[in-house]
Structure formats: C-alpha cells, structure tokens
Amino acid sequence: MTDITLTDTALLPEDLLPDVNHLITEDDQPLDNLPSEKQQRLLTEPLYSSWSGASNAEGFLAAANVALYFSSKKPPVVPDVFLSLDVQIAENWWEKGHRSYFFWEFGKPPEVVIEIVSNKEGN
C-alpha cells in the first residue's frame, strides 16, 4: 500500500478543497462516563505502544471521539474509536482543516470504526 502523506501531497487542488470554517471540529463536551473513557484509551493506547504493522506510529491513526466528515455539507459521525491505516496526520494538525478526519484529506474512510456504548433509552 502507498502511504498517504498529507504533509507532502494534497489529494485535491487547494481551490477544490471544501470550506471547513463552518464545521464544528470540537465542542468541549465531556465524555459520557469514566468506564467509556477507559475503554476508549484501552483501544487506542496499545496500538501506539506496540504496533508492529507499520515502521512507526505515523503509519496509522487511532483516535477516540474525533469527528469523521465524509462531506462538508453533512453532519459528522463521531465514533468512540476509529483506526485508519497507511495515513499520516498533517504537521500543522492544530489548524481547523486538520483537526478532524476529513475523508477528502485522508483519501479514504477508516478501516475500523467502533461504537462502544450508547446510553440512549427507548428505540
């Protein structure tokens, strides 16, 4: 597989990139509960500390509670955890255009998306 490197090449010309200024990339809402937070860390931390499938930790992205945007015109999906292989985050990841997982930036959806618990009653 070819690594997708956001720091070296753009997947789209700059004039075709969607405007992300109106998108909410963080809302500072707390997690549901302590057990959920612990489970999310248990799913991401071991990957970074022991991954042998890539030469270094930049070959994949494992994250918790990060928005997945497949369109700039639709609300994101925010799973508890996701894993995306053969990607690298941008060096300037603090910029709004790199704070979430934008499919048009990474060129693909994550390989694994996990929703641990939903505390919704009813339906």
Render pLDDT for 19-57 as a digit per residue (tens, 0 to 9).
667 666 565 565 567 777 888 899 999 988 988 765 554
For the stretch 55-77, pLDDT in tens is: 554 589 999 989 999 988 888 99
Asked if 83 contacts 111 with a C-beta cutoff of 8 angstroms, the reply is yes
What's the CA gap between 105 and 69, in Å, rounded?
A: 10
Closest CA to 102 of 87, 112, 91, 116: 87
The identity of residue 87, as a single letter, is: V
The pLDDT assigned to 25 comes to 57
pLDDT, position 17: 73
97 pLDDT exceeds 60?
yes
To which residue do tokens 């300037």 refer?
92
Helix, strand and coil in the chain, % to nearest 5: 25, 20, 60
pLDDT at position 7, please? 42
Confidence (pTM): 0.69
123 token code pair: 């339906």
